Amino acid sequence: MDEVIIDGCSLSIAALVAAARHRVRVRLDPDAEKRMLASRKVVELAVKKQQVKYGITTGFGKFCNVIISEEDNALLQKNLIMSHACGQGEPFAAEVVRAMMILRANALAVGNSGVRPLVVQRILQLVNADLVPVVPEKGSLGASGDLAPLAHIALVLIGMGEAVYKGKRMAGALALAEAHIEPLVLEPKEGLALINGTQAMTAIGALAVYDALMLYRSATIASAMTFQALRGITEALDARIHELRRQKAQIEAAQDMRYLLEDSLLTTKPSGTRVQDAYALRCTPQVHGACLAAIQHVWGIIAAELNAVTDNPLIFPHVLYEGGDILSGGNFHGEPLALALDYLGIAASELANLSERRLERMVNPTLSEGLPAFLTINGGLNSGFMIVQYSAASLVSENKVLAHPASVDSIPSSANQEDHVSMGTIAARKARQIVDNAGRVVAMEMLAACQALDLRAIQLGVPSIEHSLSPATVSAYRTVRAAVRFSDRDRTMYPDIDAVVALLRDEGLCSTVGRWSWNPEPVAPCEDYV
C-alpha cells in the first residue's frame, strides 16, 4: 500500500493500520474537498444571517441557549478547544494518536461537518510529518464523543498544547514551526467539528480489533502446535461434528484447525482407555469459533464507524438552492462502540484463558502425555517453564478484571444536559490492554509448544521434529526457532518470551500460514457509499 486516500467513504481497518502504525502517507481526495466546500457555505450563510444554530451561533452543552455574536465566534471556537483539553494520565501511543487524526480527517471529509478543506489538509500535514500531539489517555466519557482527547489534538493544530516531533516532546507551537506548518486559525463551527466525535475510541478499537484477529490466528497456530505436542486426538475436529452445531464461526475455526494439522505424524486416534482429550484441546473450535464470531461482529461495527460522521450539528446542503439544513442530533454517542468493545475484550480474554490451559497441560507431568515435568531435561536443578505458566496465569487473571464491561456505567454531565454517556473510550482502552495481555499468553504457549515438540523429538529418537509436524505448522516452528533456541538448561526467560511476542505483533507467525477460513470483506468503493 503506497498511500491512503482520505475521501470519507472508503477507509478500511487495514488501511488505517497501515497509515497509523506503519506510516503510509495519507492525502485528501479532491471530490471530498468539493463536498466540504458545499457544507461550508451553509455554515457561513447561517452566521451571516445570525440564525440560532447550536455550536455555530450558540454556546455548548448547557450553554446552548447563550447566543454568540459574529465578532466573538472565532474566540468561541478557540475557547472551546482550550477549555475542553482536560485529559489526564499517560499519553496515548503515537499510533493511536495518528489513527485519531486520520479518522477525524476522514469524518470531516464526508462533507457534512461544515469545515473548510484547509482543516483536513492541516491535520494530514501533521500525520505525514509524524508530528504527534501529546494526548492523555484518560478523560473521555464517550459522549459528546471524545471531547477531551480530541481537544488535545486540536490544541496543537492551533499552535498550543504539546507534541512529539523527531523524538522530542515540545510545545505545540515549536513543533509546528520546526515542521514548517502554519497554525490553524479556527472559523465558525470548526472547533466543535474537531472535537465532537468518536475518533479516540474508534482509533483504539480499530487497532485492537485488527490485533484481535491476529490474536485469533496466532492462538489457533499455537493450539495446533500444542495439539501435536500433546499427541491430540483429531476426531474432535471432524467437519460433521461442527456442521451439526450450525455455528458459522465454529465451523470456520474447525476448518482452520484441520488445515493446520493436516498430515501431521504426531496427532492420534482414539485408542485403549484414551478415547477423547480434555476440553482445552477437544473444544478449541467451539471456544475459538465463539471468539472469532465476536471479532467478526466488532470488526463490522468498527469498519462502519471509520467512515461515519459523528459530530453535531450536521450540515445538509440544498442541491437546487442556496443554504441547507443544520440539524442537531446525537451521532457522537459512543454506545455502538462501547458495547462492541466490551464484547471484544471478553472474547480476547477467552482466547487467553484457553491458551493458558493448554500451556498448563504441557508443563504438568500428570497431563502432558509423557513430557518431562515443566518441559525441562534435568528437573529439580532446572525449573524449566514452571514460572512461564505462573506469568500466563497472572495475565489471564488480570484480563478477567479488565473484562468487566464499561458500557453499563453512565454519569450525567453538563448540568444533566448530557445525562447518559457510553464510557466507550474506557471500553476501548480495556479491550486494547486485554488483547495485548492475551498476545503475551499465546506467545508463552507458542514458546512452550516448541520446547515440548523438541522434547518429543528426543523421546522419538529423531534429530528434528520438523518431519513429524504438519506442513502448515513447520514454518511457524521454524520462525520461532530462528528467534529462540531450544532450552536445554535454565536461562533468563523473559527475552525469549519477548522475542515471540514481537513475532506475533509484526504478524510474522500469522503470515506463515497459507490460508484462513475468514478474511474481512473489502470496503465498498465510494460510488456504492450511502
pTM over 0.85: yes
User: In the predicted model, what is the mean pLDDT of the chain?
Assistant: 94
279, 218, 63, 78: which is closest to 159 by C-alpha?
A: 78
Q: What percent of the chain has pLDDT over 90?
A: 83
Measure the CA–CA gap between 185 and 252, rounded to whole angstroms.
52
Looking at residue 113, its pLDDT comes to 95
Buried b vs exposed e over 450-486: b needs ≥16 C-beta within 10 Å? bbbbbbbbeeeeeeebeebbbebbbbbbebbbebbee
pLDDT (average), residues 306-327 = 92
| Of 340 and 56, the one with more pLDDT | 340
Cell reading at 437: 495481555
pLDDT per residue over 431-490, tens digit each? 999 999 999 999 999 999 999 999 999 999 999 999 999 999 999 999 999 999 999 999
pLDDT recorded at residue 528: 57
For residue 313, count other CB atoms closer than 10 A to its CB: 24
Give yes or no for residue 529 having a pLDDT over 60. no
Q: What is the pLDDT of residues 62-96, one digit of tens each?
A: 777 788 777 778 888 899 999 999 999 999 999 99
Query: Rounded CA gap, 58 and 47, in Å?
Result: 11
If phi > 0 it is left, if psi is from -120 to 50 it is alpha, else beta; for residue 130 that is left
Contact 369, 455 (CB under 8 A): no
Set 54, 165, 210, 343: catalytic member: 54
Where residue 511 falls among pLDDT bands split at 50, 70, 90?
confident
Domain boundaries, the chain: 3-197, 211-310+329-413+420-524
Beta bridge partners of 6: 28
User: Would you state the pLDDT for residue 39?
Assistant: 95
Q: Per residue in 390-421, pLDDT tens?
A: 999 999 999 999 999 999 998 888 877 777 88
Beta pairing partners, 169: 164
> How do residues 157-215 score in pLDDT, each as one tens digit?
999 999 999 999 999 999 999 999 999 999 999 999 999 999 999 999 999 999 999 99
Q: What is the DSSP letter of 184?
A: P
CA of residue 19 relative to chain centroid, distance: 14
User: Is the pLDDT reported for residue 42 higher than 90?
Assistant: yes
> For residues 100 and 153, is the Cβ–Cβ distance under 8 A?
yes
pLDDT at 229 over 60: yes
Coil, helix or strand at residue 292: helix
The closest of 233, 188, 234 to 40, measured between CA atoms, is 188
For the chain, give the longest Cα–Cα distance.
Answer: 88
> Under 8 Å CB-to-CB from 240, ≥6 apart: which residues?
none
CATH no., domain 3-197: 1.10.275.10
Confidence of residue 525 (pLDDT cuts 50, 70, 90): confident
| pLDDT computed for residue 59 by the predictor | 75
pLDDT at 527: 66
Active site (annotated) includes residue 343: no
CATH number of the 211-310+329-413+420-524 domain: 1.20.200.10
pLDDT of residue 447: 98
Find the range with the poorest average confidence among 145-159, 263-277, 428-442. 263-277
- Interaxial angle between packed helices 199-229 and 13-22, expressed in degrees from 0 to 180 and rounded to the nearest 10: 90
Q: Is the pLDDT of residue 112 over 60?
A: yes
- What is the average pLDDT across 500-518? 87
pLDDT beyond 80 at 273: no
Who contacts 284 (Cβ-Cβ below 8 Å, separation ≥6)? 220, 223, 227, 253, 257, 354
Q: Please report the pLDDT score of residue 150 as a whole number.
A: 97
